[in-house]
Structure 1
């Protein structure tokens, strides 16, 4: 009789837990197909090269997610608390730090226009323009009358067109984990014309749209699909104009931002190693629905790993830089005077890696 009561109590407890998780879950998971995972082998073989990086911007703020260089030689980055600062780098050290502004949101990707305005993809506020006096204006934060939830990264074409990503139409920056559990693939690649103030949607089925980079002579634009560990290409000129293909696939980790060095290399930071358990659950939406009932901070990625690759114009990996211990959650890379300047979503610092 006692054992029957125990079983009954456990049954009721599990039923109540199931109901709570199910109805508290904000996600509507679908079945999706993971790409092949080469893991840390071949051109992605494990190494410790990035462990030699020099740390900068220590304890000035959390998460200098993207870093950009202005024509006046100053670098700019944004922190998790909304601040955007400028600074100088000399001999692998930072100095002369100044506050430009605070967006009141979460500044992520940033680029300068030919006329000197800083364009910022702010996850909360939208696509912003900031003058060197710190004056802020919103370029676009809505598409077809609906507010964008997660503006992420951008690049700017020679004609001034701003190409940018909206990571998810389902979840905001503070709920990013839910987007990966749901797998609904609502990320978008968009463009904004400063001349006409027109915003166009070019791709709308990406599993977390992320980094954006224009290729040589603006012939094409690349967009990182973080959830499927691959990079798409949309042709903007020539015989293939309007066509879309895969530039790079089957990565062992999730690509974040992407930058072109202006010559022959795309630098791609890989923010997290792929999570085998998450990908195994791609075929089990019922289980993922229950997982979505937990607070988002309970289901954050547990692997912390520093990873950057360089890719040539043919989509071939030509550089493989990793840090198992010193760096993690690297989100941006820019090439500068024989070094790479590395930003991070979570670390309280940035870093400099000497390519020599």
Structure 2
């Protein structure tokens, strides 16, 4: 039979002491938890206050792109049939031109204009003055230059027109080397808001130049600020070669980008990149000077526009990226975009977006003829411009490290 021993006085005191220590320990732990919670709450509140008082360069608005109109959204992989020229040797071949001898030209991210064929590339000129040591970096673009649009004169097949987003509109005669500034972005033109981001141009038969200025507020090295703000800060400008004047053709455009003329030069079409649509601007007829929607609710954000080689005319549209759910949601919450800008998260977010290639061909009425995709961006993740040489397509990119080439002549 087991006999329970009664605790002595010392044992009772020890037990009581242990319980007191446990109670104190729990009390200390609870106090620490409360302190941690308080510190966390104060930190969150301080962070919110700091975010609220941090300055921001943007005044964002709601961006509603509407639905998506597409013949076959992501339904083919034709762009994956392209080959990459100069892969890893260059960066940012945005726009193209071809001279009277069939030589092709493009502008690169380091301010160079180069002549190229399928196997060789030669530097023709640099936009900015020396030194060139840091050219190719975003921080040095304003010095080195960044060519986004190129055109050959219709009256002289060796006169190259250049649209540089920092240095304005210039010409270079490819035979004589003579260079001339037509539009200086640092100059003041009566009735014209500041030109901070000259983007693309079209040169008509009479020498008139229509060019886009994406923003009067942000330069190209602040491109994401313009996209995040979402306001109509852009414009279409007209350069008159007779007297050298510059005037506003269309104001209050949402990231004015690519521009191209119809075959008979009766109208222009202009990309509004941050609204996923293209506008039509009448140059002739009863609607001269009027603007209307040419295409809207596009499946991506349109970049440059170039002529199709089809006999009846038409256009190729390059797309910087396709629309996606993240962008759609972000567009409806300007306050969140503001926070991202304050916390300097814009570039990180941009780099995390899915890259999907798309080019679209349409006729002069805006009817889509075909869409060529590379979903997942396996070969061609983004296209800025298409150079159509009788169905052989050269593909530019604002940040790609190659020139794409796709033979679509038999399709």
Taking structure 1 as the reference length, what is the TM-score of the superposition?
A: 0.92
- Assess if the C-alpha contact under 8 Å between 1:110 and 1:120 holds in 2: yes
**Does residue 314 of structure 1 match 2:365?**
yes
**Does residue 139 of structure 1 match 2:182?**
yes
Tell me the distance in 2 between the aligned counterparts of 1:147 and 1:318. Answer: 38
The SS at the match of 1:258 is: strand
**Does residue 3 of structure 1 match 2:28?**
no
Runs of 4+ with >6 A deviation? none
CA separation of 1:80 and 1:135: change in aligned 2, threshold 3 A: farther
**Does residue 225 of structure 1 match 2:272?**
yes
Residue 147 of structure 1: CA displacement? 4.0
Residue 241 of structure 1: CA displacement? 1.2
Taking structure 2 as the reference length, what is the TM-score of the superposition?
A: 0.80
Q: How does 1:1-356 map to 2 (within 5 A)?
A: 1-22=31-52, 23-38=54-69, 42-88=71-117, 93-95=118-120, 97-103=121-127, 104-113=144-153, 114-115=155-156, 116-132=158-174, 133-140=176-183, 141=185, 142=187, 143-144=189-190, 147-261=194-308, 263=311, 264-295=313-344, 296-300=346-350, 302-324=353-375, 325-355=378-408, 356=410
Q: Structure 1: where are the runs of 5+ without partners?
A: none
- Assess if the C-alpha contact under 8 Å between 1:35 and 1:228 holds in 2: no
Segment drifting more, 134-143 vs 50-59? 134-143
Tell me the distance in 1 between the aligned counterparts of 2:89 and 2:275. Answer: 33
Segment drifting more, 228-237 vs 174-183? 174-183
The SS at the match of 1:279 is: helix
Tell me the distance in 2 between the aligned counterparts of 1:204 and 1:63. Answer: 28
The SS at the match of 1:340 is: strand
Residue 180 of structure 1: CA displacement? 1.3
Larger C-alpha radius of gyration, 1 or 2? 2
How many residue pairs are counted as aligned between the two chains? 349
Cα-to-partner distance string for 1:177-204 (whole Å, 9 max, x where unaligned): 1111111121111111122111111112
- Assess if the C-alpha contact under 8 Å between 2:71 and 2:371 holds in 1: no
The answer to which structure has the higher helix fraction is: 2
The SS at the match of 1:178 is: helix
Tell me the distance in 2 between the aligned counterparts of 1:322 and 1:216. Answer: 26
Tell me the distance in 1 between the aligned counterparts of 2:105 and 2:382. Answer: 19
The SS at the match of 1:290 is: helix
Residue 134 of structure 1: CA displacement? 4.6
The SS at the match of 1:280 is: helix
For the aligned residues, what is the CA RMSD?
1.9
Tell me the distance in 2 between the aligned counterparts of 1:327 and 1:19. Answer: 44
Residue 137 of structure 1: CA displacement? 3.2
The SS at the match of 1:330 is: coil
Tell me the distance in 2 between the aligned counterparts of 1:171 and 1:236. Answer: 29
The answer to which structure has the higher strand fraction is: 1
- Assess if the C-alpha contact under 8 Å between 2:256 and 2:273 holds in 1: yes
- Assess if the C-alpha contact under 8 Å between 1:54 and 1:352 holds in 2: yes
- Assess if the C-alpha contact under 8 Å between 2:322 and 2:357 holds in 1: no
The SS at the match of 1:289 is: helix
Tell me the distance in 1 between the aligned counterparts of 2:171 and 2:229. Answer: 32
Segment drifting more, 117-126 vs 346-355? 117-126
Tell me the distance in 1 between the aligned counterparts of 2:368 and 2:170. Answer: 33
